[in-house]
């Protein structure tokens, strides 16, 4: 069942700047959708339009079947979790969580019950009488989530909620947020510039670039079948290798080696994921390894292939050192893109 629908939604500022080109997609009931892209791509603008914090210049926005373009934020039945927590410093954790309900005139007993339930869900029972200044970053983010949970909204909106946390805490919190969302079953839209967060948390990813949607798909679809060279280079750590192929009659060659039949297109860019290149003494591709980066269970080899930069991702059981290395590709590992438009062929 479709729960949030955006039809040709766009944002143009009075100075004529198009922050968001006409964009359309739907989010199903209970789905966790992640908007991901670099800074300035329009993802936070889009989220703020769904929240009602940014005026919609064109198109139609529906939440639970209701057109909400001109509905006040307080009446859209959404709850938003911000990057900076937005907690009241003079209030206790308990009062911060229940403040929105108090403002709506909810009975005190109901508020206390909802706060207790949220605190238990978020492991905040021991902190209800503390002020935000007495909490860690992760605990403050849990309080912000508790404030959203007690409202029992139609939609959760997350605006880069983990960007202020250190790496270890980010990893922990993304697991907690995803587990909580699945438990509650609330439709959620999550904004991040971190492709690891997007890959690990999303039911579906919406990749954005320069105010446009580049691709919508599951994490597996976006990773293994990127719709453009932008998606290929943005999604993945390390990103996909993008190499310029040469056309030789009806075949494509990569640094002199025949790799596949040539598509009916002009110049072609070949995409190969770093883990899809395998050392093989008889391999047709020749890499010059410059740096071996140790990652514990894995290692990255950085170097060149002809005039192209290239990275290879190997398990630590495979020996590696600087110098020449022969490689072969896994079967079915190639992605082909139009070298001019960047679109997948």
| HEC letters along the chain | CEEEEEEEEEEECCCCCEEEEEEEEEEECCCEEEEECCCCCCHHHHHHHHHCCCCCCEEEEEECCEECCCCCHHHCCEEEECCCCCCCCCCCHHHHHHHHHHHCCCCHHHHHHHHHHHHHHCCCHHHCCCCHHHCCHHHHHHHHHHHHHCCCCCEEEEECCCCCCCHHHHHHHHHHHHHHHHHHCCEEEEEECCHHHHHHHCCEEEEEECCEEEEEECHHHHHHCCCEHHHHHHCCCCCCEEEECEEECCEEEECCEEEEECCCCCCEEEEECHHHEEECCCCCEEEEEEEEEECCCEEEEEEEECCEEEEEEEECCCCCCCEEEEEEECCCCCEEEECCCCEEC
Q: Report d(CA 186, CA 149) in Å as an integer.
A: 9
Alpha-carbon distance 206 to 210, whole Å? 13
CA angle at 232 for the pair 303 and 248, rounded to the nearest 5°: 70
Write down the pLDDT at residue 10. Answer: 96
The predicted structure's pLDDT at residue 72: 94
- For the chain of 345 residues, list the mean pLDDT of each consecutive stretch of 10: 92 93 96 95 95 95 94 92 85 92 88 92 92 90 90 92 85 90 94 93 96 97 96 94 88 85 85 95 93 94 92 93 93 91 94
pTM, two decimal places: 0.91
Distance CA 344, CA 308 (A): 20
34, 249, 297 from 165: Cα distances, Å = 19, 54, 25
pLDDT score for 215 = 97
Tokens standing for 270? 């070949």
pLDDT at position 96 is: 93
Residue in the block written with tokens 């079948």: 225
Say what the pLDDT of residue 223 is. Answer: 96
- Return phi, psi of residue 41, to 5°: -85, -10
**Whole-number pLDDT of residue 137:** 86
Strand-strand pairing, 241-244 and 298-305: unpaired
Q: Which tokens in the block code for residue 211? A: 């105010």
pLDDT at 325: 95
Q: What share of the chain is helix, strand, coil (3-state, %, to 5)?
A: 30, 35, 35
CB 273 within 8 A of CB 236: yes
């Amino acid at each position: 069942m479709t729960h949030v629908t955006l039809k040709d939604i766009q944002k143009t500022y009075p100075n004529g700047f198009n922050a968001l080109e006409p964009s359309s997609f739907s989010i199903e009931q209970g789905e966790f959708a992640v908007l991901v892209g670099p800074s300035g791509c329009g993802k936070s603008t889009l989220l703020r339009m769904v929240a009602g914090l940014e005026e919609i210049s064109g198109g139609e926005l529906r939440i639970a079947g209701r057109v909400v373009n001109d509905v006040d934020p307080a009446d859209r039945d959404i709850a938003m979790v911000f990057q900076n927590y937005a907690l009241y410093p003079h209030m206790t954790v308990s009062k911060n969580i229940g403040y929105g309900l108090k403002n709506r005139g909810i009975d005190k007993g109901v508020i206390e019950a909802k706060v207790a339930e949220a605190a238990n869900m978020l492991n905040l029972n021991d902190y209800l009488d503390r002020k935000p200044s007495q909490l860690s970053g992760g605990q403050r983010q849990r309080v912000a989530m508790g404030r959203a949970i007690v409202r029992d909204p139609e939609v959760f909106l997350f605006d880069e909620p983990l960007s202020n946390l250190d790496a270890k805490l980010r990893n922990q919190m993304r697991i907690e947020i995803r587990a909580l969302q699945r438990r509650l079953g609330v439709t959620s839209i999550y904004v991040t510039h971190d492709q690891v967060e997007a890959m690990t948390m999303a039911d579906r990813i919406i990749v954005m670039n320069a105010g446009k949607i580049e691709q919508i798909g599951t994490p597996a679809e976006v990773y293994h079948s990127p719709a453009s060279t932008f998606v290929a280079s943005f999604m993945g750590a390390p990103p996909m290798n993008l190499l310029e192929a040469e056309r030789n009659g009806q075949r494509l060659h990569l640094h002199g080696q025949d790799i596949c039949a040539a598509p009916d297109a002009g110049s072609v860019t070949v995409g190969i994921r770093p883990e899809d290149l395998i050392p093989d003494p008889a391999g047709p591709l020749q890499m010059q390894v410059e740096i071996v980066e140790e990652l514990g269970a894995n290692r990255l080899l950085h170097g060149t292939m002809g005039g192209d930069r290239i990275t290879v991702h190997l398990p630590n059981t495979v020996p590696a050192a600087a110098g020449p290395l022969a490689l072969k590709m896994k079967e079915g590992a190639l992605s082909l893109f139009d070298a001019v438009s960047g679109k997948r062929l």
